[in-house]
């Protein structure tokens, strides 16, 4: 996501790195480059204008700083302005004082609304809410069925019209669903509405009627980030036709340019609240303008990485591993395997690496990272006997041949793994003895 923009901006900054101070001409040239980078990323023109004017004004007025060199100062200004254009503060979901909180989804067909309904439901469930998914899309023959499938995957309940009771009338269904939620003690209701291929009045009217019938606490406009500039005009049409409180960007994984993300908030005045980055239900999170700006400027997204780790591992598991890691004592191939599987649980390695600072330059290598390499290493360790895993020193030539055969790899691969393991063990011992990690069990306090 945002690769083109990210690359362009990073190269603008690197050409500033050698400068002692910024002249007026330097600022002009830099702003010109930033302007091109934004336009190429499909950012809407009015947004580009505002952005560049802001950066220019601040760069001119920038005080000579002891702490930051000129390039860093420009990066900081651009970062601040990106955060601003993306909405500044993270806008959280507003829950109703008297449950259920009603969330209505609107958007074009194919925007990813139904998928999003499932993602949002799963996300809410993880936070101990009890969402109810409502199929108020009665246009598409499969819509109710599709939502039921998504609900099952998300592990939440679904409300679909009873035969003979309001079938065909999404407004009745929406109204009934709220009563149902009250009876069944669902604290959040997510209403999926019908989309069409293009903007049409009937669609808008239906969405507006549902809105009037259920008075949602949040109307979320769901938009596919891959449709580029069209995202802006669609957003405007929905703003006029239905009105909405927040935006959900979908398919950010597929969008190399990402202009929609940078334009929609500025044009509609409504915050981006969530972002979807894949087809799976877990490819979804709240949208944080500051973290997104960091990612665009290749400063990494460590906070998201840490949150993901916290979600995946239980604390005891992590503390136990940290202890072994920092002391190097008793670290066996068994632990190595366990650790690898923990990382694997956090999601595709590519995504994890992408969140580390400075990884932008290594994008090609990262794209070649194959999760199956980890699976091969796991297979090798699994082909070892418990004794071998505890004490890899005993793995001699004939054992290596047996392990290679058992895991379907070459003897060289087994050798490499064993050598890498000894290196890692040595390094951990050195770290534990030399510097340690303050506050970690086994580390220096």
Binding site for GTP: which residues? Answer: 107-114, 192-196, 250-253
Taking each helix axis as running N to C, give the angle between helix 3-16 and helix 24-40, from 0 to 180 degrees, rounded to the nearest 10: 170
Name the site residues for ligand GDP (rule: CB under 6 A).
107, 109-115, 195, 250-251, 253-254, 276-279, 283
Nearer to ligand GDP, 252 or 404 (CB): 252
Q: How far is the CB of 248 from ligand GDP (least distance, A)?
A: 10
Taking each helix axis as running N to C, give the angle between helix 45-61 and helix 70-85, from 0 to 180 degrees, rounded to the nearest 10: 140
Q: How far is the CB of 111 from ligand GDP (least distance, A)?
A: 4
Q: How far is the CB of 154 from ligand GDP (least distance, A)?
A: 13
Report the distance separating Cα 389 and Cα 406, nearest Å. 15
Cβ contact 185:131 at 8 Å: no
Q: How far is the CB of 137 from ligand GDP (least distance, A)?
A: 7
Within 10 A of 382 (CB to CB), how many other CB atoms are there?
Answer: 12
Q: How far is the CB of 195 from ligand GDP (least distance, A)?
A: 5
Residues in the chain: 445
**Which one, of 251, 247, 170, 168, lies nearest residue 213 by Cα?**
170
Alpha-helix residue ranges (DSSP H) falling in 185-332: 201-214, 230-241, 259-268, 289-296, 302-312, 315-327
Q: How far is the CB of 150 from ligand GDP (least distance, A)?
A: 8
Within 10 A of 29 (CB to CB), how many other CB atoms are there?
Answer: 15
Nearer to ligand GDP, 251 or 266 (CB): 251
Report the distance separating Cα 418 and Cα 429, nearest Å. 17
Q: How far is the CB of 62 from ligand GDP (least distance, A)?
A: 38
Write the CA distances from 400 to 99, 215, 387, 405, integer angstroms: 62, 68, 14, 9
Nearer to ligand GDP, 179 or 371 (CB): 371
Give first-to-last CA distance, the chain, whole Å. Answer: 40
**Which one, of 386, 96, 402, 144, lies nearest residue 133 by Cα?**
144
**Which one, of 104, 94, 101, lies nearest residue 195 by Cα?**
104
Q: How far is the CB of 115 from ligand GDP (least distance, A)?
A: 3
Within 10 A of 427 (CB to CB), how many other CB atoms are there?
Answer: 11
**Which one, of 102, 107, 143, lies nearest residue 241 by Cα?**
107
Q: How far is the CB of 176 from ligand GDP (least distance, A)?
A: 21
Q: What is the DSSP letter of 191?
A: E
Report the distance separating Cα 153 and Cα 8, nearest Å. 40
Give the residue numbers of the binding site: 107-114, 192-196, 250-253
Nearer to ligand GDP, 56 or 119 (CB): 119
**Which one, of 247, 318, 249, lies nearest residue 283 by Cα?**
249
**Which one, of 228, 225, 227, 223, lies nearest residue 253 by Cα?**
225
Nearer to ligand GDP, 276 or 332 (CB): 276
Nearer to ligand GDP, 251 or 270 (CB): 251
Nearer to ligand GDP, 147 or 352 (CB): 147
Nearer to ligand GDP, 161 or 392 (CB): 161
Nearer to ligand GDP, 6 or 146 (CB): 146
Q: Which residues on neighbouring strands pair with residue 222, listed in sequence order?
A: 248
């Amino acid at each position: 996501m945002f690769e083109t923009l990210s690359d362009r901006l990073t190269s603008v900054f690197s050409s500033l790195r050698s400068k002692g101070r910024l002249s007026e001409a330097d600022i002009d040239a830099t702003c010109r480059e930033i302007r091109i980078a934004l336009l190429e990323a499909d950012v809407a023109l009015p947004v580009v204008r505002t952005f560049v004017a802001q950066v220019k004004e601040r760069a001119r007025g920038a005080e000579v700083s002891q702490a930051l060199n000129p390039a860093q100062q420009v990066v900081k200004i651009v970062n601040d302005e990106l955060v601003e254009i993306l909405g500044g503060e993270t806008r959280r979901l507003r829950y109703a004082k008297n449950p259920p909180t009603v969330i209505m989804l609107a958007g074009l067909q194919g925007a990813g609304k139904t998928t999003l309904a499932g993602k949002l439901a799963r996300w809410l469930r993880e936070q101990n809410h009890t969402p109810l998914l409502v199929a108020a899309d009665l246009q598409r023959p499969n819509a109710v069925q599709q939502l039921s499938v998504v609900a099952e995957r998300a592990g939440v309940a679904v409300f679909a019209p009873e035969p003979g009771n309001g079938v065909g009338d999404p407004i009745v269904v929406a109204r009934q669903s709220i009563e149902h939620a009250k009876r069944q003690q669902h604290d959040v209701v997510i209403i999926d509405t019908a989309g069409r291929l293009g903007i049409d009045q009937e669609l808008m009217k239906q969405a507006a009627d549902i809105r009037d019938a259920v008075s949602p606490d949040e109307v979320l406009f769901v938009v596919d980030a891959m449709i580029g500039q069209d995202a802006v005009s669609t957003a405007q049409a929905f703003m006029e036709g239905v009105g909405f409180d927040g935006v959900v960007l979908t398919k950010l994984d597929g969008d190399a340019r990402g202009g929609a993300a940078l334009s929609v908030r500025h044009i509609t005045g409504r915050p981006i609240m969530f972002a979807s980055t894949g087809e799976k239900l877990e490819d979804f999170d709240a949208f944080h303008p500051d973290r997104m700006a960091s990612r665009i400027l290749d400063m990494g997204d460590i906070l998201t990485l840490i949150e993901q780790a916290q979600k995946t591992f239980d604390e005891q598991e992590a503390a136990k591993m940290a202890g072994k890691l920092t002391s190097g004592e008793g670290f066996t191939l068994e632990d190595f395997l366990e650790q690898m599987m923990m990382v694997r649980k956090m999601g595709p390695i590519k995504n994890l690496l992408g969140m580390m600072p400075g990884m932008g330059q290594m994008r090609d290598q990262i794209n070649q990272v194959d999760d199956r390499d980890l699976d091969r290493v796991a297979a090798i360790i699994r082909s070892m006997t418990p004794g071998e895993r505890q004490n890899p020193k005993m793995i001699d030539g004939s054992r290596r041949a047996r392990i290679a055969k058992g895991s379907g790899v070459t003897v060289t691969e087994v050798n490499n793994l064993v050598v890498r393991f000894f290196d890692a063990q040595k390094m951990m011992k050195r770290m534990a003895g030399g510097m340690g990690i303050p506050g970690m069990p086994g580390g220096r306090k």
